[in-house]
Amino acid sequence: MYSEKVMDHFENPRNVGEIADADGVGLVGNPTCGDIMKIYLKIDNDVITDIKFKTFGCGAAIATSSMVTEMAKGKTLDEALRLSNQSVAEALDGLPPQKMHCSNLAADALHAAIDNYREKQK
């Protein structure tokens, strides 16, 4: 059902935790399945220098959160905004169709964190 990459990111998630003095925080959830993702960003000169996540949800939700943090770290904000839920799923060698709609909110959480950071800069 799940690819080896999904299982690896579920069993060994990268970048789990919180950033106490985060520059941007994004929170998204899906009430249908109960998955909730929170992403914390540290940003220096428009580059994501640190990123952490906390996720409540199934294995796919944890894996997508882990993968998006790996994909976004070191990228500019504009580059990170180009990451999509589809690109996260592809980086994990796919997700089962029933998991795409609810468990893959990772890019949405990343985008929300970037939006939060940019709001604070105004």
- The residues, ordered by sequence, that sit 6+ positions from 86 with a Cβ below 8 Å of its Cβ are none
Would residue 33 show up in a list of annotated catalytic residues for this protein? yes
Phi-psi group of 63: left, alpha or beta (phi > 0 → left; psi -120 to 50 → alpha; rest → beta): alpha
Q: Which of 77, 80, 102, 113 is catalytic?
A: 102
Reply yes or no on whether the pLDDT at 98 is more than 90: no
pTM: 0.94
Contact 39, 26 (CB under 8 A): yes
pLDDT in tens, 25-49: 999 998 777 889 999 999 999 999 9
Q: Tell me the domains of the chain and their CATH numbers.
A: 4-121 (3.90.1010.10)
For 75-79, what is the mean pLDDT?
Answer: 98
Would residue 58 show up in a list of annotated catalytic residues for this protein? no
Q: Which of 16, 27, 33, 58 is catalytic?
A: 33
